Amino acid sequence: MELAEYLSAARLTRILLLLGLGLIAIYAEAAPLGLSATAHPSPDLLLCLIAYWSLRRPGSTPMLAVFALGLGRDLLTDVPVGAGALSLVIVAEVLKAWRAPIARAVFPLEWAAVAFAALASAGMQWLLVVVTLAQPPYLMALIHQSLFTALVYPLIVIFLRWGLRITWRKREAVA
């Protein structure tokens, strides 16, 4: 990426928009909704946002911004500090690497990739907690959260694609 493209106003605006939407996603997840202890876990809205942005606009998804959002979420929610941020960064970078074949494929393949990423992220967080000898969260709760995250992803896509008009770059979509 050239310096002029790296510092372009459009790219910086997209990064700021990502950070703003990321904060909204974090607060939506952390909001005390008065739900009972037996309620289903909330979907990982931040992962959905980062996954979509990593696939559609990888140049506007810097690792530092993803890490900052993940660390902010870790500090505001009950995720062990650093585990969520690390898994979010890894998911974003893996999806960036997979974006070329996903851009040429149909949406169900993208949906499956994000569902796999959500499940892998939850597994990674669980494993990091187990390795640190802390009390890990219930594995089934993490699997349920991954399922709900996968189910919510198409709604996030609709909002970002048709609401905010963030889509594939033309050269990636026709490649």
Q: Please determine, for residue 175, whether its predicted confidence score (pLDDT) is greater than 50.
A: no
Q: What share of the chain is helix, strand, coil (3-state, %, to 5)?
A: 75, 0, 25
CA–CA separation, 26 and 155 (whole Å): 17
Nearest of 121, 112, 174, 172 to residue 146 by alpha carbon: 121
User: What pLDDT is attached to residue 39?
Assistant: 65
| pTM higher than the cut 0.85 | yes
With H, G, I as helix, E, B as strand and everything else as coil, classify residue 89: helix
Nearest of 121, 114, 102, 139 to residue 51 by alpha carbon: 114
**pLDDT 10s digits, 84-109:** 899 999 999 999 999 989 988 899 99
**pLDDT 10s digits, 112-161:** 999 999 999 999 988 888 888 777 767 788 888 899 999 999 999 999 99
User: What pLDDT is attached to residue 33?
Assistant: 64
Token digits of residue 165: 């008009």
CA–CA separation, 155 and 161 (whole Å): 10
